[in-house]
Structure 1
Amino acid sequence: MITPPPIKSNSKIRIVSPAGKIKEEHVKPAVEWLEQQGFEVELGKHVFAQHFQFAGTDEQRLNDLQEALDDPDCDAIICSRGGYGTVRIVNKLDFTTFAQKPKWLVGFSDITILHSCFHNLGFASIHGVMPRYFFDSDGNPSESLVSMMKLITGESISYSVDSATFNKKGKAEAEIVGGNLSIITSLQGTKYDLNTDGKILFLEDIDEFLYHTDRMIHQLKLSGKLDNLAGLILGDFTDMKDNESPFGKTVHEIILEAVSGFDYPVCFDFPGGHDKKNLALTFGCEWELEVGEGITKLRLK
């Protein structure tokens, strides 16, 4: 995997909106903060455009992202938000110029499509916080932002989280891949399908029915995506829903049942995804995972 160089105090960062629309008030404070840190920030021409639920038309969103990929002076691309829409433009992207000067891509949720695309092309990327969630309720840089900035500036980083009830103990050293469960399952059978063999798979999701989550997990299992993992990290599964006739299992029980026959370590409740704390991960880089009795440790190698 090719890892883009760390950004520096005078690096140029582009912010684009490849999916859902977003209000200016949710981005401008992040721009001001980045500029205060010494970065040059350039917004895509259509960052605040609106076309129904999208941040502009497909062509507008595509042009902004392509310009950012091609910009020889740009060192990082931060997506303004997820939502929906990246799948409509990803197959029209040209990475020829980008490959001559790789740069970091940051985002999560619908941006999982771009993470998978980058991974299949051989480039590392960052699953991390986007501008609306840069700050905590007091207006201070959130822990999510701090973790993302450490990764993008090349600092060493490690996480320690309390072990969850359903954890499966063990150790693994491997690349982390993954992202949003719904997006990952939707990419199966396409050229953006994710190869999970020998990797630590990270999964998170939001606003899904339990029965649908069960279907997606079993789709991954039936396709062999869970067979040869080095490890499995489950992030936040936020605002999960049930039917009037209960499914009968929690999301943790659904996943644990699906991986019960495998001997790799499994970490539940890692603070990553759509909850308040979204600790950043570099996809395509090697991490050391240790799921212990009371503490789970994750360290970038």
Structure 2
Amino acid sequence: MIPALQPGDTIAILATARKISYPEIEVAIHTFESWGLKVVLGQTIGASYNYFAGDDALRLQDLQQMLDDENIRAIICGRGGYGTTRIIDQVDFAKFQQHPKWLVGFSDVTALHSHIHNFGIQSVHAIMPLLFPKDGTAASIETLRKVLFGEELTYTVAPHELNRTGLGQGQLIGGNLSMLGTLTGTRSDCSTAGKILFLEDLDEYLYHIDRIMVHLDRSGKLEHLSGLIIGDMSDMKDTILPFGKTAHEIILEHTGKYNYPVCYGFPVGHEPLNLALVCGREAKLEVSEQGAVLRYT
């Protein structure tokens, strides 16, 4: 397990995908410093190459340097977007595997979570610096602080009409549904068997959600889960000819034939309340008529 952060530790903020400026992360920097942490910025902060935070070479160099620097105790991705998969196969994780550190982010950063899960290293799916100034994010930020500093967390979620009751236990994995679909069959793909999978997504057409769920099911990713957590499916879009089902109904269709517990409406994803989850940590999911409880074991 990665050691908890202590006041005085140094963390890094960088961007592996879409570009981001210093003013956009200033609130996050002050927040981290209020926790007693020292913050260094990668060369990708403020860099620009069309859509990206610098070209592939710069983003790769920045990530590699922070992974290899033993003085850096955590790497925080400033924002998501797209671009992590363009560089991930060129990253040398050898020193990182010898001296693991927290990797933090969500959305496009799902690629990093999945990739390093294959090394047996945990990571944190959580709010990113770009979103710190947004209204309603204080609870999300606090759960990130608790995870990084080793404090215990148990999450309780209200009942949902589509929930399937039961008890599941296993390593917690997952992230952005679209990203997980694109990782299938790559070096960043990981096994889901016996694990609790969590999913979230943003700004996708409903038929895209169906296509990805079909793909995951055909790939064997859904059959042998210990549990399933459905987070926010935000700003879903439809075509002129309606698809005819909501994102939740689509997921239910493709997982309804299995028997593991399913929790809908878990606050994780592209909304202000985005609870920090430790990918790769053993967890227990209990879904009952009273709601759902997720705790680490």
TM bin, normalised by shorter chain, reads over 0.9
CA distance in 1, matches of 2:277, 2:34: 24
Residue 210 (1) aligns with residue 225 (2): no
Could you list the runs of 5+ residues in structure 2 that have no partner in the other structure?
A: none
Give me the whole-angstrom Cα distance separating, in 2, the residues matched to 1:150 and 1:179. 20
Contact 1:184 1:194 in 2 (8 A): no
Q: How does 1:148-187 map to 2 (within 5 A)?
A: 148-187=144-183
Unaligned runs of 5+ in 1: none
Letter in 1 for 2:220: G
Q: Contact 2:97 / 2:119 at 8 angstroms: preserved in 1? A: no
Q: Which of residues 31, 35, 38 is equivalent to 2:36? A: 38
Give the AA of the match of 2:109: I
Superposition pairs of residues 237-252 of structure 1, within 5 angstroms: 237-252=233-248
Q: Provide the identity percentage.
A: 47
Amino acid across the alignment from 2:219: S
Q: State the TM-score, normalizing by the size of structure 1.
A: 0.96
Q: Which position in structure 1 is the counterpart of 2:109?
A: 111
Give the AA of the match of 1:197: A
Distance in 1, matches of 2:8 and 2:216, equals 42
CA contact (8 A) 2:123 2:279 kept: yes
1:62 paired residue number: 60
> Are the equivalent residues in 1 in contact too, given 2:19–2:44 (CA < 8 A)?
no
Q: Which residue of 2 aligns with 1:5?
A: 3
Residue in structure 2 matching 1:199, options 179, 195, 199: 195
Give the aligned partner of residue 29 of structure 1: 27
Q: Give the structure 2 partner of residue 255 of structure 1.
A: 251
Q: CA deviation at 1:23?
A: 2.4
Query: What SS does structure 2 have at the residue aligned with 1:204?
Result: strand
The residue type paired with residue 91 of structure 2 is L
**Contact 1:171/1:265 (<8 A) preserved:** yes
CA separation of 1:62 and 1:6: change in aligned 2, threshold 3 A: same
Distance of 1:28 and 1:135 partners within structure 2: 9
After TM superposition, the structure 1 stretch with the greater mean CA deviation from structure 2, 125-134 or 103-112, is 125-134
Q: Find the counterpart in structure 2 of residue 19 from structure 1.
A: 17
RMSD: 1.1
**Equivalent residue number for residue 279 of structure 2:** 283
Residue in 1 aligned with 2:230?
234
- The question of whether the paired residues in 2 share the 8 Å contact of 1:135 and 1:142 is answered with no
2:121 aligned to which of 116, 120, 123: 123
Regions of 4+ moved over 4 Å: none
